[in-house]
Chain A
Amino acid sequence: MTRAALGPLLLALALRPAAGQLVAVGPQFVLADYREVASGLRYRGNGFGGALWARRNRFSVEAAVVRLSFDPVAGSAADSGFTATQVDAWVAYDVAAYASIEVGVLHRSVDPEFDAQSVGALRVGARSFYQIGPGATVVFRANYLAAPKFSGGGHAAVSLDLGLGLDVRLAGRLHGTATYAFNRMNRRTNPGGTGEIDAPIQETVARLGLALGF
């Protein structure tokens, strides 16, 4: 099959409505803001990624992988940017028609390694979702980030993640998605044994994408 023929075929498949949609997958464009330790250490970035969503009965699985390039904003104390690869994953169970409980993981790795904190944490939380129209659903989630691990050491007793999501069926199997996430980690560290100091981390991410339902 030639590439010229593959394009219209994929478009036709995308515009055909799915009978019982269980899986959706698609690319995402990402905007992000990252702050660490103090207000002077600020980065802004963007990148691309992909997302996968699947459902079976009351269970649903969601995963997103993005690669971001961060650059210091004007006035930032940082003098160089970094790239980050972030993986978010959730497994949810519907406890009501409009609510689920969920667990998952958050993992963000940074390159170069010590230009920012690499993080790994477990997620425990809940989400509420509501269909506001034919094929349009809004989601709000709140997760507690448990047992976070930082590449630079330290701990964070209180780490939270908030999210807002939107899924709109554009045509047939084709969906438009928009997801907002804000996470805040009250990291405390003890550099050189001189006593604990606050080194909070705060990130906001917006993912805009398309998804194909199957």
Chain B
Amino acid sequence: MSRYLAAVVLLAGLAHPAVGAAQAAQNATLRRAQQAYDNLEYRQVLTLARAALRERLTGAERARAYELLGFTYGAMDSILKAVDAFKQVVLLDPERQLDPNRVSPKAYSAFDVALRQVLLVRQLRVDSVSFVGGQGAVPVRFTVTQPARVVARAIGSGATVVIDSGAWNGQVNLRWPARLPGGDPVPAGTYTLVVDARLGQNTFSASQPIRVSHGRVDTLPSVTSLPGYQFLPETEIPPQSWRPVGLAFLYTGGALVGTLGLESSSLGSSSKRELGLVGGAALVTGFVMMLRKPAARPAQANILYNHLLRDQIARRNQDIAKENVARRQQVQVTVAPVSPVTPK
């Protein structure tokens, strides 16, 4: 019983990727083949799929027919035949990818072997990017299924530029600076990014149209502050203290001591009425000032700090002005893919 259940689950997994294909199939024979596959009638699948391939099919339908054959041979343990069928699938649809979580390991390994036996350039991708001409690059990546001599070019009405070439296999990542040999940015327009792979007599090309546009480089705004730095108040209110009355006492005491010290012994003690009047006024004023909120005074450290900060901002703005002069002479290059990969 458990064996039967396992077989059902496995077959259901094998059938699943073909369901979507059957839904889109227009050819009646191919639809019948799909139904037979859904009913686990493998002999009939083989017969009907082969019959469908002898009929007039679209490229997608032919790929589905070979895929049904591949899955069926895989289920029937005819691995070599499954590999041959999957080779036809990837030749017809190089971007075809199986989900290892949804197909049987046998089918997946057969598909993987098929991929390695056919020279393909797959999954050619160009990321949308925008950069200042000469200061950036366009990321280009693709997969070569066999070790091959590969040349990547950008072909457009304005120019044809070789991006890179080499003997590569597997995932390849390139960076195209979008420049002409002279160093200038490639002219604006539509280009086709072509990747040619050659292995002996076998060749394969994949292409991706892209659009290159030019724009003005954004200039930088002047700064009025520096991140993390703030102007400090240039005055500060000192804390209340006894200093006013202390100073009044000190100054008055100085006058009193001086007067007592300078008094002539022959003239007798001088009048203290005048000193009492003025000294008393000074002490009262000092006492009042001690109780009052002190006056704001210049904060020299903050003034110096603000001065240095203003100098820094002025220097930064000078740099920005120079940078903007340079930026006004630069070109902002924007590259974007315009349609999916088209196999040739």
Contacts and interface: CB of A to CB of B under 8 A. Distances in A.
In this complex, which of A44, A142, A164, A205 has the most chain B Cβ atoms within 10 angstroms of its Cβ?
A164
Interface string B244-283: 1101100110110011001110111011011101110110
A206 B262 CA distance: 17
B251 A206 contact: no
Interface in A59-110: none
A133 B277 contact: no
Interface string B280-292: 0110011011101
Contacts, number: 127
B19 interface: no
Interface stretch (A13-21, A30-38, A48-56, A114-122): A30-38
Contacts of A31: 273-274, 277
Given A166-B282, A200-B266, A202-B267, A136 B275 contact: no
Specify the main secondary structure of chain A where it touches its partner. Answer: strand
Interface residues of B, number: 35
A168 B258 CA distance: 24
B262 to A, nearest CB: 5
B294 interface: yes
B274 A180 contact: yes
B182 to A, nearest CB: 65
Interface in A136-166: 136, 138-140, 142, 160, 162-166
A132 interface: yes
B282 A164 contact: yes
A110 B268 CA distance: 23
Contact of B243 (A32, A36, A132, A208): A132
A133 B281 contact: no
A202 B264 contact: yes
Given A180-B255, A182-B255, A202-B263, A133 B270 contact: no
B271 A204 contact: yes
A38 B266 contact: yes
Contacts of A184: 262-264
Specify the main secondary structure of chain B where it touches its partner. Answer: helix
Nearest to B286: A132
B222 to A, nearest CB: 33
Interface string B134-155: 0000000000000000000000
Contacts of A126: none
Given A33-B274, A164-B279, A132 B289 contact: yes
Nearest to A35: B267
A63 B129 CA distance: 80
A196 interface: no
B8 interface: no
Contact of B251 (A33, A35, A36, A138): A138
B232 interface: no
Contacts of B98: none
A141 to B, nearest CB: 9
A134 B262 contact: no
A205 B270 CA distance: 11
Interface string B102-116: 000000000000000
Contacts of B295: 131, 133-135
12 contacts: A33-B274, A44-B271, A133-B285, A133-B289, A133-B290, A135-B295, A136-B286, A136-B289, A140-B254, A200-B264, A202-B267, A204-B275
Interface of A: 31-33, 35-39, 42, 44, 128, 130-136, 138-140, 142, 160, 162-166, 168, 178-180, 182, 184, 186, 198, 200, 202, 204-206, 208
Interface of B: 243-245, 247-248, 251-252, 254-255, 258-259, 262-264, 266-268, 270-271, 273-275, 277-279, 281-282, 285-286, 288-290, 292, 294-295
What 10 A-B pairs come out closest when comparing CB atoms?
A133-B289, A206-B274, A39-B268, A33-B271, A134-B295, A180-B278, A164-B255, A132-B244, A162-B258, A35-B267
